[in-house]
Amino acid sequence: MTSTDVRSVIATARRIVVKIGSSSLTRDGGGLDSHRIERLVDSIAARRLSGSQVVVVSSGAIATGFPQLGLSKRPRDLTTQQASASVGQGLLLARYTEAFNRHGFTVGQVLLTADDMTRRSHYRNAQRTLNRLLEMGAIPLVNENDTVATAEIRVGDNDRLAALVAQLIHADALLLLSDVDGLYDGPPAQGGSRLIVEVLGDDDLLNVRIGGIGSAGVGLGGMTTKVDAARIASMAGIPTLIARFDSAGDALSHANVGTVFHATGRRTRTRLLWLAHASTPMGQVHLDSGAVQAVVGKRASLLPAGITHVAGSFMAGDPVDVVDASGQVIARGLVNYDAQELPGLLGRSTRDLSRELGREYEREVIHRDDLILLPLVP
């Protein structure tokens, strides 16, 4: 497909995820900029009225809340960030609700953590909720649940969250709104830097210098996280556009702005994407060469017989990294045993363990359905 073809797909996508960062919604020093939200909502409502379903992934809870608590800048410690988010999330939702109501649309809030999405019992419920909101004509407003998320269950940034939500709801396109025009091959403010119109694959990024946080010191994102998110989405078969916030209307109507990332892969099961990109491993299981071959070459489940040792403190259901003899992480999976249980099982067959300890010990250490090879993307 040409760049024009991909932009046409984005401009006409039946279901699209739109992500907005803190720096695009808030004033210098924090606090909501109502005028910016109104302009954004006008553009999204126009796309919604054209027949598309839209999910909004919006940052801004912490940046909105901290001035209300008498703070002069974004807090650095987790507890104060969570307090700021608890204040700001309500204000953010109220402002979006008011703005969308003017166009006749209802907003439904969905707060997520990585833990919600990697555990089998949780992620289907989030998927059903988002799909039902869309079916009923509502506009889901998604954010990371900053009020409760700890380091172990944080997605980490809303650009990545948007890419994973796009996969979760089987979106046809992803739009990442930024405070710059798109991806440049160098710092945008530096003379000679050139806007990259399209990215066909990783080779187009080899000579690109990116980094930095959003403007006004209120956001944690930046072009690095947007490129990572675009790569996650594109490798999952979802074309992505990075564009300036001020160009949201153009991005949503004809997509002839910013940088477009072509879809380069096919869809991966949603929960495994979350496992790869939004989970924090709680430990490691180290394999012998035979087990590495079985896991990587045959895509088999991981059994106790092929594990040489374990590290870390984890419980059944936690994510753990799978490591080869050289120390290289080759996969990540959801483990079926506690760390303290495993040492006594290592090197033994499930048949022997079942005969000696009971049938519950016939299970895999990590089932292949709960295992994803790494790196899916760097």
Note the pLDDT tens digit of each residue in 19-52. 998 888 888 878 889 999 999 999 999 999 999 9
- Over residues 280-287, mean pLDDT: 92
Q: How many CB atoms lie within 10 A of CB 327?
A: 8
CA 173 to CA 163: how far, in whole Å? Answer: 10
> Which residue stretches of the chain are H helix?
3-12, 22-25, 34-49, 61-65, 78-101, 114-118, 120-135, 158-168, 223-235, 248-253, 270-277, 289-292, 350-357
CA 112 to CA 274: how far, in whole Å? Answer: 12
Query: 111 has which bridge partners?
Result: 143
> Tens digits of per-residue pLDDT, 180-227?
899 998 888 777 889 999 999 888 888 787 754 344 344 444 788 899
User: Does the structure show a pLDDT above 70 at 246?
Assistant: yes
Per-residue pLDDT at 220? 42
Higher pLDDT, residue 122 or 130: 130
- Are 146 and 89 spatial neighbours (Cβ–Cβ below 8 Å)? yes
Class of domain 281-373: mainly beta
Phi, psi of 308 (to 5 degrees): -95, -40
- Over residues 134-141, mean pLDDT: 97
**Domain boundaries of the chain, sorted by first residue:** 3-274, 281-373
**pTM over 0.85, yes/no:** no
User: Does the structure show a pLDDT above 50 at 262?
Assistant: yes
Helix axes 78-101, 34-49, angle to 10 degrees: 50
- Over residues 221-238, mean pLDDT: 86
On average, the pLDDT of the chain sits at: 87
> Tens digits of per-residue pLDDT, 300-323?
999 989 999 999 999 998 899 999
- Are 227 and 163 spatial neighbours (Cβ–Cβ below 8 Å)? no
User: Does the structure show a pLDDT above 70 at 155?
Assistant: no
CA 305 to CA 225: how far, in whole Å? Answer: 39
Residue 119 pLDDT grade (very low, low, confident, very high; cuts 50, 70, 90): low
Per-residue pLDDT at 51? 95
Domain 3-274 has CATH 3.40.1160.10: yes
